[in-house]
């Protein structure tokens, strides 16, 4: 076991991890943050998308031991109590959620996109979400949610930052 110190959603966490453990396992099983989902463990589905030092990655492909001293943000950090952030609100309002298993990853990926590119084109949205599989909803409403979130954030800024 290796001890690491990592800032997760703004809070400093210290925990011991196995040498081969993924960040996804650490978040879900050691830090009580199961919002990032485990659906493939090979970076194919995007359900475990998180921001590592502000960069969008699949938590399942990050070695937990290597995040020592770094900063991780998960889907759990986005809402402030009952107040949803603009991306989450847009997903709710457009009906972009069905079973919801892929949703946390999509919400985080959308954040990563809009931070870099506040006015994405349709093609840019599709490119940005191409690593997040959804098996129920059908993408149309998801793309619409991103467009709506972009519009709100463009007008009002990022509520949560």
Task: Show contacts with another protein in window 107-136 (CB under 8 A).
Answer: 107, 109, 112-113, 126-136
**13 near another protein, rule: CB under 8 A:** no
The number of C-alpha atoms within 13 Å of 19 and in the hemisphere containing its C-beta is: 0
Pick the closer one to another protein by CB: 68 or 119.
68
- Short-list 29, 69, 25, 81, CA closest to 48: 25
Helices first, then strands: H and E counts in the chain = 5, 5
Pick the closer one to another protein by CB: 40 or 151.
40
Residue selected from 8, 45, 149, 150 as contacting another protein according to rule CB under 8 A: 45
Instruction: Report in angstroms how near the CB of residue 12 gets to another protein at its nearest.
Output: 19
**17 near another protein, rule: CB under 8 A:** no
Of 56-75, which residues contact another protein (CB under 8 A)? 56-58, 60-63, 65-66, 74-75
71-73 β-sheet, strand order: 11-17, 2-8, 71-73, 49-52, 55-58
Within 10 A of 94 (CB to CB), how many other CB atoms are there? 18
Instruction: Report in angstroms how near the CB of residue 66 gets to another protein at its nearest.
Output: 4
């Amino acid at each position: 076991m290796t001890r690491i110190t990592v800032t997760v959603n703004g809070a400093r966490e210290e925990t011991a991890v196995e040498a081969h453990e993924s960040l996804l396992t650490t978040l879900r099983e050691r830090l009580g943050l199961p919002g990032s989902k485990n659906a493939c463990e090979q970076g194919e589905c995007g359900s475990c998308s998180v921001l590592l030092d502000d960069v969008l990655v699949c938590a399942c492909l990050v070695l937990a031991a290597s995040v020592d001293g770094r900063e991780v943000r998960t889907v759990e950090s986005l809402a402030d109590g009952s107040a949803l952030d603009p991306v989450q609100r847009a997903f709710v309002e457009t009906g972009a959620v069905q079973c919801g298993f892929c949703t946390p990853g999509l919400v985080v990926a959308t954040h990563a996109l809009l931070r870099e590119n506040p006015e994405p084109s349709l093609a840019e949205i599709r490119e940005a979400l191409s690593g997040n599989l959804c098996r129920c909803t059908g993408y149309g409403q998801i793309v619409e949610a991103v467009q709506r979130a972009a519009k709100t954030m463009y007008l009002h800024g990022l509520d949560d930052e």
